[in-house]
Structure 1
């Protein structure tokens, strides 16, 4: 498995966890140092013996299985010529550009500029839509009792605990990022009607905590959560949008295969393009995976008659621009991502920026369109998003150009 480093693609606080903490000290328990490993083998007998000896955290079939072992056990496993044993990639918060924080008991604007933009209505006072659609937000968890979210929570699961593969009924968000993303997708204004609104306030939230309180986690947990969301959709006979505001400069095979699995099983996968700036080929994974929709971030600034792609927003592959065909490392869509107000884990609100904030705009729009057109498949839905984006081309920002460009992709899809 190729090493990769996964991060939340947001722009809130200035942090320094990006490179230094990529492989931080392993977990400690009972005096032992523990590490997460992936065990692969073409020798079925050797692999089965390893499964019997170590607890299987996640079984990925031909890709192997993950488990926790002590450092001493890891060193011993590396000497087994019948097994290929590698450390599982660590996930961490990204180093973020400066942003302005704003918290209050009630929002200063119930329909922030992103809602006005995606609904193409400067005077909108409330949003609607998303009935019977599930949006799995894979993030730092969610404040499920936030007044603007609590009526929409259907699942709350924690995949991030080191010694437990999944804990149902738990998704506490100490970080705040996941609560913010969830609010942009489906905040409903609260029972009193005084809160903030997301794009699809009638959708149901599956809050999947895949990153810990410091924004760190493991790629096998993310991959397992992606597969779990797709399986839940199949088992319950419901439509699922998987929203991931996280990313990496390098590809991780476990996550890529999980994205492909989910897409092939009817889910729509939406992921952040990344915050690595306006240089060519800066797009991150899993957004860069062909079966995921990569979302770039727009600013509330008009340039060349359209919204402007933010300078921090990652760009795709210029070699494949202009063809209106999505390939690996292509930006597909763009949406509001700069200075976005949404729900926060203190029960109030916060304004932050990043492609993390653009992603849930598209995830919410996908839920809204799917609810309005329940006969669409996930591939049909993706085509509809592309068509709406093409009809609303983005010309502002570095490398943005007429048609399919590598800054804004097909453009900015609208709700109406």
Structure 2
């Protein structure tokens, strides 16, 4: 039976544009939120200057000789001229990079070859997920080997008011427990650290991201997953990720969802792996940004994964035993109903003969709400609205709450159902713990999970060795060689493990178990070559 999952209610994440108005950086009362870099040893003097200027500190980034503050706009020039201050720059917004649409193995797991490699040794690795939290206690997510810290701004790491972080975590590590989906590393061997920087609103700042990444390193993570981004570069942030890379941390981020050639950050820093999104046919997603910084591609279209319990939606339509793809309408009753299928035309009046039946209604002329109400008025138990133009139908009932399940289907399926009138039909719109999401946000955890899995088989390798191996072993897609859409290609787990087994860490000879070093992998150059 064909099933379709979507996310619903207050947890719905809108498709987030990366271009954020500079007004977002204002902290209220005409203050500007900025990052200040200061000379080593001068933090106390700079904090006093900020206080005198009427400002206040948000994030302490002492390890990077910086801090995030809000100060009156009129005070900025004075701070820039302070001899203890090296740089004053905007604290750039950072946002989650996803949008939304039968439990089992998501297509992406086989696509990245994760099903061909054991994760028995994954206990040697830790992945840090910087996101919106983690639904601890979800039936498909591990509870052991997961850590996090309380944050006064975003709250408890083990709750997820947005849903994005739980979806990302499921792609990396959903359990092979016969319930729901499985992740890249499905046997609860991987260690996870959760840093919650996003609340339900789904956006934060560069300074918070820097502090989060530093926490990941402090907690011993080898891989950082960042399914997030923003359209503006930040020099303090860039320096922080360069330092983390030099310290042996592999940082991986979403390339962006604007479907253009504009860079997104932190993905477009040289020290960070930028991940593009492809679909189940290995075709680049229309929304995936294409830049000279894109390095690898991962599955990112209609990715099924975990969401906070009860916040997903499972939609199913079955007619005469055959399943049809459907989308639940916002405002639909959350229930299941069965009846014979009856034709209600365009639903512009109470549907005669619909008592106890499922109404089949064509789109057009009046609102979806009126069509569903016409079905209800005729005694119908469920409503199926089919498109009058090519493609699936995504509908909403506005402020109306229906008493029956209401779904939309494609024009093609609608035409097919017109020949099935009278057949037993079931329409189901019910709560679920899983959902389909789209986005480079969904592609990124595939790559992060693969990186950790490959690294668990070659623990003597450095972060740069793993990065170079992922590039060299990627499945080339699009134009021959590296290109701006797919980067080096679709990340491949077994191919990368085999590459390191054959070539060793550093790219020469067999794996002796002690090789490290080698050229730092670059973006846009030869596979595994030095940065330019």
CA contact (8 A) 1:335 1:359 kept: yes
Greater shift, 77-86 or 284-293, is seen at 77-86
TM-score (ref. length: structure 2): 0.59
Out of 464, 478, 482, the position equivalent to 1:404 is 482
- Alignment partner for residue 242 of structure 1, among 208, 224, 230? 224
Match of 2:47 among 45, 51, 55: 51
Asked if the contact 1:110/1:189 (under 8 Å) is kept, the reply is: no
Where in structure 2 are there 5+ consecutive unaligned residues? 1-11, 311-432, 495-532
Alignment of 1:345-356 (within 5 A): 345-346=308-309, 348-356=433-441
Deviation track 1:201-231 (CA, whole Å, cap 9, x = no partner) reads 3211111112222012121010111122123
CA RMSD of aligned residues (A): 3.1
Q: Residues 407 and 48 (structure 1 numbering): CA distance in 2 closer, same or farther, change over 3 Å?
A: same
Structure 1: tracts of 5 or more residues without a match = 1-10, 101-107, 234-238, 302-306, 318-329, 395-399
2:179 to 179, 194, 205: 194
The alpha carbon displacement at 1:132 in A equals: 2.5
Question: In structure 2, what is the equivalent of residue 387 of structure 1?
Answer: 472
Counterpart of 1:221 (choices 190, 201, 208) is 208
C-alpha distance in structure 2 between counterparts of 1:42 and 1:258, whole Å: 16
Provide the C-alpha distance between the structure 2 equivalents of 1:349 and 1:189, rounded to a whole number of angstroms. Answer: 15
Structure 1 residue 41: Cα displacement: 4.3
The structure having more radius of gyration, on CA atoms, is 2
CA deviations on 1:157-178 (whole Å, 9 max, x unpaired) are 355718xxxx7x6342101011
Shift, 1:14, TM fit: 4.3
Q: 1:155: which partner in 2? A: 147
* Alpha-carbon contact 1:131-1:368 (below 8 Å) kept: no
**Equivalents in 2 of 1:206, 1:358: separation in Å?**
19
Summarize the alignment of residues 213-292 of structure 1 with structure 2, pairs less than 5 Å apart.
213-233=200-220, 240-277=222-259, 279=260, 281-292=261-272
Partner Cα separation in structure 2 for residue 120 and residue 181 of structure 1: 16
Greater shift in the superposed pair: 173-182 or 14-23: 14-23
User: What are the Cα deviations for residues 362-397 of structure 1, in whole angstroms up to 9, with x where unaligned?
Assistant: 1001111111111111111112211220xx211xxx
Question: Where do 1:13-412 residues align within 5 Å?
Answer: 13-14=14-15, 19=20, 23=24, 26=27, 36-42=33-39, 47-51=43-47, 57-60=59-62, 63-67=65-69, 71=72, 75=74, 79=78, 81-82=81-82, 87-93=90-96, 99-100=100-101, 108-119=102-113, 128-129=119-120, 130-159=122-151, 161=153, 170-190=157-177, 193-201=178-186, 202-233=189-220, 240-277=222-259, 279=260, 281-301=261-281, 307-317=282-292, 330-346=293-309, 348-389=433-474, 392-394=475-477, 400-412=478-490
What is the TM-score with the length of structure 1 in the denominator? 0.74
